[in-house]
Amino acid sequence: METKTETPDYYDISPVIHEGIAVFPGDTAFSRNVLMSIDDGSHIDLSTIKSTVHLGAHADAPSHYHKDGKGIDERDLMLYMGLCQVISVNIPKKERIQREHVTTAINAPRVLFKTESFPNPDQWVDDFNSLGPELIDWLTELGVRLVGIDTPSVDPSDSKDLPSHQSLYKNDMAVLEGVDLRLVPDGLYNLVALPLRLKDADASPVRAILLRLGDNS
């Protein structure tokens, strides 16, 4: 008898945060310091953490890439919730995704690009894919309010002028970086990826999930 494979009700697209997770070279790696432990005889577990805010699946704030940008605590939470489309793009490593690479019709106001060019969240590589600034302009014309990618940045790792980030600011588009889409089929979902209310912060980690909309086939 053929065994039926169960499809999950949601996909958790947040990499596990631990001390081995990769961060941009030179940024603050994640660490957790245990202050009290039940196993050592304390009445509670208690710990502190130290980390970059650009950790794992995260939302950049406009203040990260523009002097007049707002902090993450001032972003509208509705940007990070609602109908979302996952789209696979297969292009050479290091290249930016351009409009001509998107052959699927855009059917949601939030789009996550699956490139599989940063396959291991715990191993840093420089040749991941990113977004073209003209792509962001085009998505804006289509009514897209949030764009995301399964790599650490919408610009290449060696970019200093950050044209795609500047296009995000110009279009007031929200962004998610570092999402893990390896197990997610292309299609439509409901996204929930809320940033923490960190006052004036340039980014925040998110616990991002994609809820299924019935049959995504």
Residue 168 has pLDDT above 50, yes or no: yes
91 close to 101: Cβ distance less than 8 angstroms: yes
- Determine whether 64 is an active site residue: yes
Q: Which of 54, 58, 64, 165 is catalytic?
A: 64
> Could you tell me if residue 182 is inside a domain?
yes
- Span 79-122, pLDDT tens digits: 999 999 999 999 999 999 999 999 999 999 999 999 999 999 99
What is the pLDDT, as a whole number, of residue 216? 43
> In the chain, pLDDT over 90 holds for what percent of residues?
94
Single-letter code of the amino acid located at 101: H
What is the pLDDT, as a whole number, of residue 114? 98
What is the pLDDT, as a whole number, of residue 6? 65
The tokens describing 165, both together, are 């980030």
Q: What is the mean pLDDT of the chain?
A: 95
pTM listed for this prediction: 0.94
Instruction: Show the domain range for 65.
Output: 10-212
What is the pLDDT, as a whole number, of residue 7? 75
Task: Quote the DSSP letter at residue 74.
Answer: G
Q: Give the residues across from 211 on adjacent strands.
A: 10, 190
> Could you tell me if residue 95 is inside a domain?
yes
Q: What is the mean pLDDT of residues 174-189?
A: 98
> Could you tell me if residue 132 is inside a domain?
yes
> Could you tell me if residue 113 is inside a domain?
yes
Total domains, the chain: 1
